[in-house]
Structure 1
Amino acid sequence: MSSMNEAASANLRSVPYDLLVVGGGVNGCGIARDAAGRGARVLLVEQDDLASHTSSASTKLIHGGLRYLEYYEFRLVREALIERERLLSIAPHIIWPMRFVLPHSKMLRPAWLLRAGLFLYDHLCPRMSLPKTNKVNLRSNRVGEPLRDEYRLGFVYSDGWVQDSRLVVLNAMDASAHGAEILTRTRLTAAKRGAEGWDATLTDTVTGETRQVRARAIVNAAGPWVAELLKDKVHVESRNSVRLVKGSHIVVPRVFDGAQSYIFQNPDKRIVFAIPYETDFTLIGTTDVPWEQDPSHVEIAPDEVKYLCESVNRYFKKTISPDDVVWSYAGVRPLYDDNSGSASAVTRDYVLDVDSAAAPILSVFGGKITTFRKLAEHAIERLAPFLPVLKGPEWTASRPLPGGDFERSQFRSLVEKLKVQGPWLDTYTAWRLVRNYGTRAFEIVKADEARMGQRFGETLTQAEVDYLIDHEWARSAEDILWRRSKIGLRVGTDVAASLQSYIDQRKTSAHPAPVEKERESAS
C-alpha cells in the first residue's frame, strides 16, 4: 500500500485493533479472514505484495502429502486430506482435482509399499469425494505413453491443484469484506508491549512514511522472518526455531499430453512432480536445499536446474535440458525445526506459540498451504482466551472464497454464460477469466469489447487491470503478470513496461476495502 490518507491515519491512531497480523502470506491472510469474520477489528500488514514470497513459490498442490506417510505424519496427512475436500468446495475456480501417475521403479520403493501407502492415503480422509487409487499397466494405458519403456507398472491417485497466490489474495479480499484493513507495502518496524496491548510503528516501504497503531494482540505470520520479527521488532524471546529450506521449480514447454500429472521417485528418495501448467507448459519441482541467506532474494541454482532435469529424464521419453527452461522460481519454506537430519525429512506440520507474559503475541512456525485454513482456526482458538471477540463459532469451512459461489459441475456453463455476456470473448479467454475470478469475472467483462479498454498483450485488458488494482491490491506489473496471473509467461518486457506505465498513471485509493464491504452488505 503506497500511502494512507488522513482519515485512515486518524482511524489507525484512535480505536485499538483487536488483532495486528504481520505477514500477507496464506497463513496471515487466513487468520485475518477468520478473525474478521468473528467480529474482530483486524489490521494486516505486508511488507511487499500479498503472497510475494513463500506463498507464491509452492508446487501449487492441495494435497495430503503422500510422502509424509514415510515419516509417520499421520495426523498431518489426515488433516490435510480433510482440508483438501473443504478447499475444493469453497474455491472451485482456483482449486480443482488432479490425477497423479506414480510409476513404479524396481530400483526404489517396492510395489507393495506403494500400494499400501496409497491405500492408507485414500482411507485417511473420511467421505473422500475424489476417485480412489487404481493400478495401471503403463504399456497399455494412455498415461504411460510419455514414459520410458522400462516402466510397466504404475498407480494413479487423486489430489488437488491450486493457484497459490490467488488463494492468498482471495482470503485477503474476504477478510476485507468482513471489515479487516489490509495494508500492503507496509512493514512493522517496531512494537512496544504493554499489559493491555501493543503500540506498533508501521512504515510505508514506498514512501518511508510512518504511522502508529495500537493492537490488543499481534499475530506473527511473517514466514521466513518469524524469528527475526520476534528478536528484532517486538523483543520477545522465541521458544521455537525455524528452519529455512529453499524449494525451486522450473517451467518448460509442455512435455506430455493429457490433464494428468506425474510424481517421480528419485534415487535420493526425494520425489519430483511434473504438472501440466498454464495450458502450454510443464511445471517441474521441487528441490529441498538448506537456506541460511536473506529470504528476500532467492533464486534457483544451476545444480538445482540440473537435478530437476535429470529427475524427469529418468522417466520421460522426451528429455529436457537447462536450455529448455522458460521460467524458474524459488522460495524459502519456513519450516518448524524438529531437528531432522535432512531438509526433506523436516516436518511440514506447524506449531503455534503464544507468548502471553503481557499483551499476547502468537507466532506461526511451519505449515503448508493445504492446511492454512485449519491453522487459522487453531490460531483463533489459541488467542480466544485473551480476546473474547474471537469466541464466535467457526465459519470458514463452508463459506466460499470470493468468486467461488458455484458448484464445480457448473464451471463449463459459467464459461459459456460469460461468453454470452461478452460475445467478443474467445473460449480460452472466457475460460481463463472464470478460472481466475469465478463469478467475479462477470464484474470485469463488458458486452462491448471497446469498453474493455487498452490491451496489454495476450488476453489482458484494461478492465481486468482496473479490477485488480481496485479490488486485489495490485500495484505493479509484476503483481499482475506473475501473482494475480501467469500472463508473464506469454508476454515480453515491452508489455510489462506498458502495463507499469498505465499503473503509475492511475490514482488509486488507499485500499479497496470499502468496495468489498459494500458488496458484503449488499449480499
Structure 2
Amino acid sequence: MKEPSNMPLDYDLLIIGGGINGTGIARDAAGRGARVLLVEKDDLAGHTSSASTKLIHGGLRYLEYYEFRLVREALMERENLLRIAPHIIWPMRFVLPHSDMLRPAWLLRAGLFIYDHLCMGMTLPKTRRIYFREDPTGGILQRQYVKGFEYSDGWVQDSRLVVLNAISAREHGATIRTRTRLLAAERFDDYWEARIEDNVTGAVTKVTTRAIVNAAGPWVTDLLHGELSVTSRNSTRLVKGSHIVVPKLFDTPQAYILQNPDKRIVFAVPYERDFTLIGTTDVNWDKSANHVEINDSEVTYLCESVNRYFNKTVSPKDVVWQYAGVRALFDDHAGNASAVTRDYKLDLDVAGAPVISIFGGKITTYRKLAEHVIEKLTPHMPVLGAESWTAHAVLPGGDFARAEFDRQVAALADKAPYLSRETAWRLVRNYGTRAGNFVTSRQEALGQHFGADLYQAEVDYLISEEWARSVEDIIWRRGKFGLRLSQSEVTQLAAYIDGKMAAHA
C-alpha cells in the first residue's frame, strides 16, 4: 500500500459493469454530485440483465424460503418503478391454476394474502379467486384445472431499463464507456489507479478514482481476485435461466404462472403482441459466463410445463427465439438451484482505498441496492452524502402518469399521422415522451426502411444516444426487432451500422 496523495483524481467512483446494478449505482451517485466513470466490456445489459423473465415482481415463490424482507423490499420497489418508468414498466395480472398434486390451495391462498399485504402502499389490484369454468382465463386450460387465483405483478423491458438508467447517469454528469474493460487496478491508501482498454481501438487509458464498485455480475469474484487483487470470503453461485418464445398461445392479457412437479414454477407471458414468452429454468452453471446457451433438455422442460396445463400444445419446433443467461447469486450453499437466495450481499473492503463488490441481487430491487451501496460508501466518501433521490425521479421518457399512456400514444400519432397505431404504441413503450426526439411530422425524415417498423431515424438515435454499436444491440436489446426481421433485412441493417461506425471511427 502506498502513502496518501493530494493529487487531484479523475473520478470519485469507477464502476465496473454495465448491467442493471452498475447503471443504477452510476445514476444514483452522479445525481448526488459524484464524478462517475462506468466501464462495460460489452454492451449495456449485454448479459444477465437482458436475459431475465422481464418481470418486476416481489417473488411470490420466495415466501416458501422465508425471504420476507426481500419480498417486502421488492414489492415496495415494484411501486416505485411503476411510477418512475410508466413507459417500459406496467402492471400485469398473473393467473395461478391450482393442481391437487402440488401445493395445497390453502397454502397458495395464505401466500397470496401475505403477498398482497407486505407492501402497505400497494396500488395494484389484490388477489381474486377464479373458477375457470366461469372465467375467460380458463379458456386455454385443460379441464382438470377447475380453480385458481389471479394476482398482480409487473412487466419490464429489462434491457431498456438498463439503458435508461445509463442515460440518466450521463445526464447527471457520468461518463459511460461500453466496449471497455478493466485491465488492472493498483490500490493506494486513498485512491485507485486503473488501466482501462477500449476493446475496439485497443487504446489503453490510465484513470484515478477514489473508490471502485465491482458490479461485474457473473464475473464479480474473478474481478475481485484478479484485476483488483482483493481477497473475500464471499462468492457467487452461477445459475442458468433459459427462456423460449413461441407464437401467441392465448389472447387474454394475463400471464400464467405454472407449478411443476419438481416444485419449480414457469411463467407463460404475453410478449411483443404476437408471441408468448415461456421461462425460466434454474440450472447450476460451472462453465464460462461469456457464452451461455439453452440446451435441448431445457427446451423440452419448458414445453412440457406448458403442455401440462394448456389445451394448445407446444413443441421445440414451435420455438421462434430462445435465450439464456446466468444469474450471479450470492452463494448461501443451498443444495437446490431454485432455493438459492435471490437476496444480495454487499462486500465493502476498506483496507486501502474503498472497493465494494455486489453479490447477487434481482432486477426489481436494483434501485434499492444502489441506495445501499451509496450508504456503505458515504462514510468514506462525503461527496455521496446528499439525500437519496431516485425513488421519485422519473427515468428518461417517463414523465407522464401511468394512466396517461394511451394519451401519449394518441399524441405521437397526431404528431406523425403516418404511423400505424401499433408503431406509435411501440415507440411510446420504448421511449415514452422521448419518441418525439426522432419522430417528426415528415415521414420522409424517417429515412431508410430496414424492415418491420424499423427506420433509419430510430437506428441513428440508438447509435447516437443509446450506445448501440452492433446489429445485436439494436434487434435484441434496444428492441426486439429480431422477432420480425428476415435474415436479409438483418444483414442489410448490420451493413448500415458497420458503415456508420466506420465513419465515426
Task: Look up the match of 1:156.
Answer: 150
> How far off its partner does 1:140 sit?
1.1
SS at match of 2:338: coil
Contact 2:469 2:501 in 1 (8 A): no
Q: Does 1:319 align with 2:313?
A: yes
The 5 Å alignment of 1:83-482 reads: 83-482=77-476
Q: How many residues align?
A: 499
d(CA) in 1 for partners of 2:134 and 2:143? 11
CA deviation map 1:19-63 (0-9, x unaligned): 000000000000000000000000000000000000000000000
d(CA) in 2 for partners of 1:301 and 1:499? 29
> How far off its partner does 1:144 sit?
0.5
CA deviation map 1:123-152 (0-9, x unaligned): 001111000000010111000100000000
Contact 1:102 1:264 in 2 (8 A): yes
d(CA) in 2 for partners of 1:270 and 1:419? 43
CA deviation map 1:159-191 (0-9, x unaligned): 000000000000000000000000000000100
SS at match of 1:238: coil
> How far off its partner does 1:508 sit?
8.5
> How far off its partner does 1:14 sit?
7.2
Change (3 A) 1:155 1:455: same
> % of aligned pairs identical?
67
Determine which of 35, 49, 52 is the counterpart of 1:58: 52
> How far off its partner does 1:286 sit?
0.3
- Counterpart residue type for residue 438 of structure 2: I
Task: Look up the match of 1:494.
Answer: 488
d(CA) in 2 for partners of 1:16 and 1:457? 44
> How far off its partner does 1:507 sit?
5.2
Q: Which runs of 4+ in 1 moved over 3 A?
A: 507-511
> How far off its partner does 1:16 sit?
2.1
d(CA) in 2 for partners of 1:507 and 1:158? 43
> How far off its partner does 1:509 sit?
10
Contact 1:230 1:237 in 2 (8 A): yes
List gaps (5 residues or longer) in structure 2. Answer: 1-6
CA deviation map 1:414-436 (0-9, x unaligned): 11110111111110000000000
SS at match of 2:229: coil
Task: Look up the match of 2:72.
Answer: 78
d(CA) in 1 for partners of 2:296 and 2:38? 37
> How far off its partner does 1:213 sit?
0.6
> How far off its partner does 1:483 sit?
0.1
d(CA) in 2 for partners of 1:51 and 1:157? 29
SS at match of 1:58: coil
> How far off its partner does 1:470 sit?
1.0
Contact 2:9 2:210 in 1 (8 A): no
Measured on the aligned residues, the alpha-carbon RMSD in Å equals 1.3
Task: Look up the match of 2:4.
Answer: none
Relative to the length of structure 1, the TM-score reads 0.94
Contact 1:48 1:186 in 2 (8 A): yes
SS at match of 2:426: helix
CA deviation map 1:254-306 (0-9, x unaligned): 11111100001000000000000000000000000000100010000100000
CA deviation map 1:298-330 (0-9, x unaligned): 000100000000011000000000110010000
Change (3 A) 1:250 1:507: closer
CA deviation map 1:341-368 (0-9, x unaligned): 1100000000000000000100000000
Determine which of 5, 14, 25 is the counterpart of 1:31: 25
List gaps (5 residues or longer) in structure 1. Answer: 1-12, 512-523
d(CA) in 1 for partners of 2:310 and 2:498? 45
> How far off its partner does 1:447 sit?
0.7
> How far off its partner does 1:15 sit?
3.9
d(CA) in 1 for partners of 2:309 and 2:500? 49
- Counterpart residue type for residue 181 of structure 2: R
d(CA) in 1 for partners of 2:385 and 2:327? 31
d(CA) in 2 for partners of 1:417 and 1:268? 48
Change (3 A) 1:508 1:19: farther
d(CA) in 1 for partners of 2:383 and 2:487? 48
SS at match of 1:470: helix
- Counterpart residue type for residue 297 of structure 1: H
Relative to the length of structure 2, the TM-score reads 0.98
> How far off its partner does 1:207 sit?
2.1
SS at match of 1:283: strand
Contact 1:469 1:508 in 2 (8 A): no
SS at match of 2:450: coil
Contact 1:191 1:200 in 2 (8 A): yes
- Counterpart residue type for residue 423 of structure 1: P
Determine which of 41, 44, 47 is the counterpart of 2:35: 41
